[in-house]
Structure 1
Amino acid sequence: MNIMVVSRIQVNSEIGHGAIKGRGTPVNPPNRFERAHGEAFDDGWDLPKEDATKPQTMLIRDATRSIITRNDSPDIAFGQSVNPYRGCEHGCIYCFARPSHAYLGFSAGLDFETKIVFKPEAPRLLEKELSRAGYKPAVIVLGSNTDPYQPVERTLGLTRAILEVLEKFGNPVGIVTKSAGVLRDADILARMASKRLARVFISVTTLDPTLARTLEPRAASPARRLSVIRELSAQGIPVGVMASPMIPGVNDAEMESIVEAAAKAGARSAHTTLVRLPHELAPLFVDWLEKHLPGRASHVLSLIRQSRGGKLNDPDFHSRFTGSGPYVEMLHQRFARAVKQFGLEGGNAVLDCSQFAVPRATPAAGQLSLF
């Protein structure tokens, strides 16, 4: 993949520094693919660190030649997705996608939320791929890796352009987001939903605004996300809630409250997953716990290990999203009971792939169609 750096920032690479307002983490753990890495140390010079304390977001152009990502994972319900962005400015400390930034040569830490890779050719590439003779219509998911409505979308508008292509082809779409930005595209989504071509899932991790500010510093507030569910539902757009991830000892006590609040706002379905801490994410999350919940850190980590076979992460299919053990079984029972109690579904709204059709080319000006 070819990328062009638009601007540069300097970030700190030592775990243990203080928090940065508006960022999920102030640190950049080493990229697991690099053999050599720098390590911060005190050289005796007490110099100001303005760049490190106020890092700016950097946009990086992605010159990829394909846009649809396909997977055959046995525990993922969709087969193809489109991600217009890599990295996410929301800065969620628990985000399982953080380690994917290593494939770009960046860190899963502060790099992930400040070095945002965008795909300006995404709409054109999508139209090209959907037009191929061998394309088989299937739901395309936006937001499977990073949020398609993160702040930069307000400027670039790539997600909206992608939706315009999907609507033109009649290809169904599923969206996962924790941003109120999705309301901007409610016009397209409502039209598609009327034909059973669209559904939206709003991620609600906590109802506590104070906790949300540290867990997900640049995402919409919990109250705003519930409002988004209400507004989408009022426009006839099937909307569900992702009460995810559940972090034992941090937000799992809110599970029933999240499901109830989402149901009252108009959600039709609910899903949940257990927190995942792959690769570099584990030390980042531990650092966050020690900074923001020092009195609970050891207990939280103990519960996660109990739910992950003694480790902080389980990468195996079928158990990586759900976990295992008595504590997890109790969470599953609670969730199932809440979904039933508040009248929600555990499945997804069925979308219609039969309406897909490649649009006929528009005749050039002054040239009549043969048909």
Structure 2
Amino acid sequence: MEGQVEREAERRAGRAAGSGSRRYGSPNARALAIAVSGLVLAGTMVVASLPPSDPGAAEDSVDAAGGDLTRRMLLDQVDDAPGEIGAVAEPEVCDDGRNPAESYAPDGIDGEAVQRIQDADQLVVGVDQNSYRWGYREPDTGDIVGFDIDLVRAIGEDLLGPNPDIVFKAIPTAQRIPAIQSGDVDMVVRSMSITCDRWDDVAFSAAYFETGQQLLAPVNSGIDGVNESLNGTTVCSGEDTTAETELRARTQALDVELITRGNHLDCLVAIQLGQADALMTDSALAAGHAAQDPTVHLVGEPITVESYGVAMNLEDVDLVRRVNEVLQDYTTGGAWAESYADWLAAYLPEGQSTAPEPLYLD
């Protein structure tokens, strides 16, 4: 399993040695959770790269673990969490006053970066294959499918024409930016939140989805948000993520042990194995976890307002503009709505059923 446990330099006072985290539910419920995890992981093992798959595979996808039950998960499972500590969700504002979701204006020009991809006749994209409904390996076919993958195919077809040669490279969360900077990938489409700090390292397209950081916890855990209900618990997040940053900032006054894993799905497994009591990730991704495992649910409210964007090299401004032109057609021409209906509509509130309005720097 990817990632190393990152623990506090000192355990907080009063934590009994060897006490571990709160275990949840009955032994049978925990066994069920671990069994579900095994089924999911069978289709989501991370590999260095994946061959191009059938563009029509998404239309034939099936739920990896859950059936009709999973289609009712999210709307019945969000609890109110009074008294949350600093949990008012507000969009980020950069030091210069701009919204980080602002990107370069669309342009279809074939600049240097676009030409590089076309000369290679291949698009290399960093993706996740651990995020159910977003980017994951379908157990029945072995194809990588999901909402993010549909967008990758639309970008590939615009750059390279019908049946483009797309190399999907599965990369851990913490390797998204290094993979772009080193040139290992042309772009990352991996439910990656656009932040002011990340703009220092990579460039982003306009937003293609809006979400926020939210806790996921076992149904019978007693955890109801980022508040005193977390005292005495272990909370997991993906390494080098917005969730990790928010947790460290918002739990300083609480008795909480924070750990990280290479991917947020690994945090779900940590809960199932009794190594963590809750995880924090984007609410949209957490909804996929709830669909996989009916013993966990979203709690509290999202504590941030964030947008997903396609990440590219800072120097590839022409590629960013070209991707934004693709997004214009993709979000307004019906393709975004069709992909949303295929992958996400059953798990997310109706308010998230439209693409965000694009914001541009110029």
TM-score scaled to structure 2, two decimals?
0.27
Whose Rg is larger? 1
| Structure ranking higher in strand proportion | 2
Return the structure number with greater relative CO, CA threshold 8 A, min gap 6: 2
TM-score scaled to structure 1, two decimals?
0.26
